[in-house]
Structure 1
């Protein structure tokens, strides 16, 4: 309703005074909102994959870091955290997230789509820039060796990661199962797919016979669940997998990319920042990296795609076309990753 309609029927002096006040309110409200929006920089959204803690705990642990990032960037910083790795990757793809921690496998997809660049890598408390996938079993029951797992199809239950997980799926699928010509879906009595943490607890508590995990998370379980750690043993360990990367969208202004990169690489200079890094994910630092760090996992991903194609029923022509597509993809990835090799050394 217009201000003058509200004033209709009132004495002239009162009507003029009230209408003036109402009109001033409408003018100020309409006039201030665009000015406020124009002076407020758009928030920067950081995407985080959640591998162990709850989403709320993860956001809380990262808050000192994100507050410092907001101060450095002079703009609000929001956090989108999820246990669904693909949700974070998709948010970076559609522009909802500008900077993200994802695993190497999802980073490959983002780099391959020419949407993001790796600029940093997580460094563990012990200074390592990599981890290994492991296969866990209980100390007091079968199986006790990988040979037993391989030789007894249909005997054991497995706790595994989702199919986007490198240490929970991709690495064991290649190094343990594919190399031994095993189809996990047929080899195990049952497979439960969940988080690393839940898989560890399941094998420690005897709910599954075996579980995939990784050496980085095992360090945390040793502190958090010492009694349960005493019940399990590692029966297989993979070659080293690079620590997870940090990416930003390729279309961010170069100056913004540079400020973000500088902040991440400098963080951890005093005791307070070091304590924050430890709480975030048992980190000691972020080190400069590039797309080239994705090389080992790219090879695993290509092998997985080839294995899937070979196992699918198709005629010779379809397989030849699939093989040609994989060959072209491998060549394209080789160019994308090797072009940044000097930066990451």
Structure 2
């Protein structure tokens, strides 16, 4: 070998060796990144115990991962806005949310409703309720409305449909009552904490909903026996399940098909029952949000009308905004109406 050629080949060999070492070192990171890119994350709202919700959903998410041949992670939070923001920002790709938060997501064109929960009794809706202690002074809604400044009130998360939006409209707005002025104290908590607060006598009145009642009966029968329901709302559509619109169409179809078909075997039925007493999921679309959209817009209109006398200019500005939003939502909801079962 020529003496001038040896250093070149030696340097060339050294470069190849370094490149192979570098590739070997980077391989685990590349695999990790690829796995991360292919992972799907399901967001879950937590009304009670965080650990129990995650565990109850585990058989479902494991089956979903097997069906899609893709890792499926879970992101759960008691703060409903956390899940909504994560779906909006793309940190999760599908989520169980309430109707109120789903409105914001479909309105922003980031996500779409594809399924709706169905209860064991076949019902497609639930009701907001107000709890009071059986041995307490509140025996009816009239007792609450007729005694301002006397009682403490446990309200729901401001993003909650049944814990905040529905009772705020049907109980307070329609009776021309401002909760902040009517109650001596207001706290905000999730459904489980509000239920326990009433049962233990820490608040006089609190919001909740009928879909939580079977859980309380199973887990806290003695505490449930201490409370009474003094008011029920009109029917609210069961919670929707959404996925991001930028998911590949084929992936959306496979996710939708899995959700709708799940619940045929005994093991799957047991898993669904553990998930808040479900019998399955039915195909749905953005149009299922129509009743809650109407409720939210009407509540905003009522609030605007109350302030009309104080500021006519402000009222007109609010009305213009409401008109535009109503038209935009009407388009978004009706676009999927023909797809609704």
Gaps of 5+ in 1: 1-15
SS at match of 2:247: coil
Distance 1:309 1:116 in 2: 29
Segment drifting more, 175-184 vs 134-143: 134-143
Displacement of 1:338 in angstroms is 2.2
What does residue range 17-32 of structure 1 map to in structure 2 within 5 Å?
A: 23=18, 26-30=21-25, 32=27
Segment drifting more, 134-143 vs 262-271: 134-143
Alpha-carbon spacing, 1:203–1:35, altered in 2? closer, same or farther (3 Å): closer
Displacement of 1:343 in angstroms is 2.1
What does residue range 232-247 of structure 1 map to in structure 2 within 5 Å?
A: 232-247=227-242
The superposition leaves residues 214-258 of structure 1 with CA deviations (integer Å, 9 ceiling, x where unpaired) of: 000012111111111111111110000001000000111111100
Residue matched to 1:76: 71
Segment drifting more, 172-181 vs 59-68: 59-68
Residue matched to 1:272: 267
- TM-score, scaled relative to structure 2: 0.90
Distance 2:231 2:172 in 1: 12
What does residue range 1-345 of structure 1 map to in structure 2 within 5 Å?
A: 23=18, 26-30=21-25, 32-33=27-28, 36=31, 40=35, 42-54=38-50, 56-310=51-305, 315-345=311-341
Displacement of 1:24 in angstroms is 7.9
Contact 2:211 2:276 in 1 (8 A): no
Distance 2:33 2:101 in 1: 35
Displacement of 1:303 in angstroms is 2.3
Displacement of 1:23 in angstroms is 4.3
SS at match of 2:87: helix
Gaps of 5+ in 2: 1-10
Distance 2:185 2:77 in 1: 26
Alpha-carbon spacing, 1:325–1:36, altered in 2? closer, same or farther (3 Å): same
Contact 2:154 2:194 in 1 (8 A): yes
Segment drifting more, 33-42 vs 237-246: 33-42
Distance 1:185 1:77 in 2: 42
SS at match of 1:281: coil
Distance 1:268 1:24 in 2: 51
The superposition leaves residues 64-104 of structure 1 with CA deviations (integer Å, 9 ceiling, x where unpaired) of: 11111111111111111101111100111111111011110
Residue matched to 2:8: none
Distance 1:36 1:199 in 2: 45
- TM-score, scaled relative to structure 1: 0.89
Residue matched to 1:7: none
Contact 2:84 2:101 in 1 (8 A): yes
Displacement of 1:277 in angstroms is 1.0
What is the aligned-residue RMSD (CA, Å)?
2.2
Alpha-carbon spacing, 1:71–1:185, altered in 2? closer, same or farther (3 Å): same
Contact 2:115 2:241 in 1 (8 A): yes
The superposition leaves residues 163-193 of structure 1 with CA deviations (integer Å, 9 ceiling, x where unpaired) of: 1111111101111111110001100111111
Distance 2:21 2:151 in 1: 71
Distance 1:272 1:171 in 2: 35
Displacement of 1:341 in angstroms is 2.1
Distance 1:110 1:312 in 2: 29
SS at match of 2:48: coil
